[in-house]
A and B are shown apart, each in its own frame.
Chain A
Amino acid sequence: MSTASVVPGTPGVEEALVEDQNLRGGKARRVKTRLTSRAATVAAIVIAAVWTIPTLGLFISSFRPETDIRTNGWWNVFVNPQFTLDNYGEVLFASGASSANLLSYFINSFAIAIPATVFPIVLASMAAYAFAWIRFKGSDVMFIVIFALQIVPLQMALIPLLQIFSQWLHISGTIPAVWVAHTIFGLPLVIFLMHNFISEIPGDIIEAARVDGANHAQIFLRVVLPLSVPALASIGIFQFLWVWNDLLVALVFSGGTVDVAPLTQRLAEMVGNFGRNQEVLPAAAFVSIIVPLIVFFALQRFFVRGLLAGSTKG
């Protein structure tokens, strides 16, 4: 995910922020704020085209025969349509015994991303609950420090963490090492976002549970978690995309081997050898972005909600 850090904004706009409600209820009431209608339409179409064409071009390229990719551009398919699945066959299946095809990396990406999404979400929910609903001295300072940790460049943390992994835990170069690294690097943002949601839970509900004699563990499990499902979903998507799309953490903690490394790393290697891989790169790139795109289009509503919650409410 590109936007690893989301910061709080000013209060006051949140009530109108849930897009869907607005589209349904507010459409008729609102006034035209468009500047000049025709020019605006043209500009919008141009922007939409510029934003789509690069991806579309790559998508078309991925189905073109090798010689076509090397000798002319993807727009020639409109004159001379020729398509093949060979590129996908090659990147997914062709392989020697110890060398790699993308399918192995694809499996790695999943094996890394699923736990690396679950772990920080759960740990962050617990911490966020404590920061939001257990009053203690220094809670504010601690919360703000955690928020500020987002700015530590990951590069700074690589070597010390790797030392811990190799000398104390003996897990360096394994998938669990990548889980732990992603969990740590994801925590500041996820705690912040979860805190935004959990602190919004009406105090009456929590109080009522307390009056009934429930302790914090019970409240957390029976009240807070069920109420936070939408938040868990939207923040989970965020974290999943972030992990799936990450290159740096994987590069260092996976050891870069076929057994552990995710798709992004293999893709980066292939880009580094552009001339050799030119004909398979579009297909390879699409294999790597297909999962995020599916997640994105299927769960866009949650995704947007997570984004809005993170950025507008402190």
Chain B
Amino acid sequence: MTLVSIAGLPAAARGDLLGQFLEKFGLVIIGLAVFAAVIGLILFIADKAPKRGRDVIQLLLFVAPAVILLAVGLVYPAIRTAVLAFFDARGENFIGFDNFVWMFTQPTILTTILNTLVWVALVPTISTIVGMAYAIFIDKSKGEKVLKSIVFMPMAISFVGAGVIWTFVYAYKATGFEQTGILNQIVVWLGGEPQQWLLVPPWNTLFLIIVMIWIQTGFAMVLISAAIKGIPTEIVEAARLDGANPWQSFWNVTIPGIRGTLVVVVTTISIATLKVFDIVRAMTAGNFNTSVIANEMYTQAFRQGQFGQGAALALILFVMVLPIVIYNVRVLRKQREIR
């Protein structure tokens, strides 16, 4: 078949990478051009707005695109889901609190909720402690930048990619076979029996949590490191002159100095942890009692068509995140008032 006839086929049948590339490149260009045109038009109208009420018109034009998208894409769905949580599987009949009764009487769902609580208890605390320790240990050391990059790097890797990386770390081969996973190899070198890390509850949840900690520690480390460097030198110096040992100065100077940052780090990681979905899905698919709410929500609504139960789980997750956000909103309000 000649090139000409290949070009005549629809792109899907061609399997031609170059064609695919050109087609998608074209799509991206068109998309960007259309977007640029829309934005240009908005700014043009804002520019030409009549003097009277110009501020209001300009304000509306600036805010409207984002607000409309958010109202349609997040606010309306959130309200709709909250309502759906009180309806049956197909969303047709009002059933009161039945979905919540179901949730709190099903042992598997209770395990799921419990797992989520374990995640949110462990990931933020351990990530923050390890990140803080590391930040202090390498502070002002040689090669601080490289050492930081190493721990920070997992932040750039997708949850799915991280799942693959750790699936290989946890790989298991029975006694008598050569191990392919580093963790079991270390156990064997130390004279132990290889373990099925991801199979045995409740420990398997901990091994999934390690993956999340691996990712989030870099985030904690970078922020805390910056905060430590921000503590005024005079205070640290004064503590030292007062005869404080490093441990005392850590508790009395460093911790108070970075308190605000610690709060930020913990709350941020908590929200990310409550929403965790990809790690569980890629590594155990929620089997062996490792499911978490975000994963179970997807399974209920989309795999099993139980939209009401899925919505109820979403609502529970929302309620769990709410206190964290309320706290942050209060901080935010204070700051805007100060400004």
Residues in A lying within 8 Å of B, measured CB to CB: 1-17, 19, 22-23, 26-27, 29-36, 40-41, 43-44, 47-48, 51-55, 57-58, 61, 69-75, 95-98, 103-104, 107-108, 110-111, 114-115, 118-119, 122-124, 126-127, 129-131, 134, 136, 140, 142-144, 146-161, 164, 175-176, 179-181, 183-185, 187-188, 191, 199, 215-218, 220-221, 241, 244-248, 259, 264, 267-268, 271-272, 274, 281-282, 284-285, 288-289, 292-293, 295-297, 300, 304, 307-308, 311-312, 314
Contacts and interface: CB of A to CB of B under 8 A. Distances in A.
Contact of B21 (A107, A114, A285): A107
A314 B250 CA distance: 27
A31 B165 CA distance: 39
Interface string B296-334: 011001000001001100100110011011001101110
Interface string B129-161: 010011011111100110101111111111111
A118 B32 CA distance: 8
A216 B180 contact: no
A157 B78 contact: yes
B47 A217 contact: yes
B101 interface: no
A194 to B, nearest CB: 10
A288 B222 CA distance: 25
B90 interface: no
Given A5-B272, A6-B268, A34-B246, A155 B223 contact: no
Given A218-B47, A289-B158, A124 B66 contact: yes
Contacts of A245: 157-161
Given A161-B77, A184-B69, A314-B335, 10 more contacts: A2-B155, A9-B264, A29-B233, A32-B140, A44-B141, A48-B151, A151-B271, A157-B81, A215-B47, A300-B152
Nearest to B56: A136
Query: B-side binding surface: helix, strand, loop or mixed?
Result: helix
A149 B70 contact: yes
Q: Which of A5, A158, A199 has the most CB of B within 10 A?
A: A5
B178 interface: yes
Nearest to B276: A2
Contact of B154 (A14, A51, A73): A51
Contacts of A23: 144-145
A204 B15 CA distance: 58
Interface string B71-82: 011111110110
Contacts of B232: 16
B86 interface: no
Nearest to B154: A51
A295 B74 contact: no
Contacts of A16: 226, 229-232
B72 A164 contact: yes
B236 interface: yes
A314 B332 contact: yes
Given A44-B137, A130-B59, A314-B335, A152 B158 contact: no
Given A160-B77, A184-B69, A312-B264, A11 B338 contact: yes
Given A9-B331, A35-B250, A259-B12, A183 B180 contact: no
Contact of A247 (B39, B159, B254, B271): B159
Contacts of B137: 34, 40-41, 43-44, 47
A267 B160 contact: yes
11 contacts: A35-B250, A118-B35, A123-B65, A131-B63, A142-B67, A149-B75, A155-B314, A159-B307, A246-B158, A292-B157, A311-B223
A148 B149 CA distance: 31
Interface in B61-112: 62-63, 65-67, 69-70, 72-78, 80-81
Contacts of A149: 70, 74-75, 78
A33 B246 contact: yes
A126 B62 contact: yes
8 cross-chain pairs, A with B, having the tightest CB-CB distances, nearest first: A10-B260, A16-B230, A245-B158, A184-B73, A314-B335, A296-B156, A9-B264, A157-B77
A68 B225 CA distance: 41
Contacts of B28: 110-111, 114-115
B20 A107 contact: yes
B285 interface: yes
A134 B57 CA distance: 11
A220 B269 contact: no
Given A123-B66, A134-B62, A155-B297, A58 B165 contact: yes
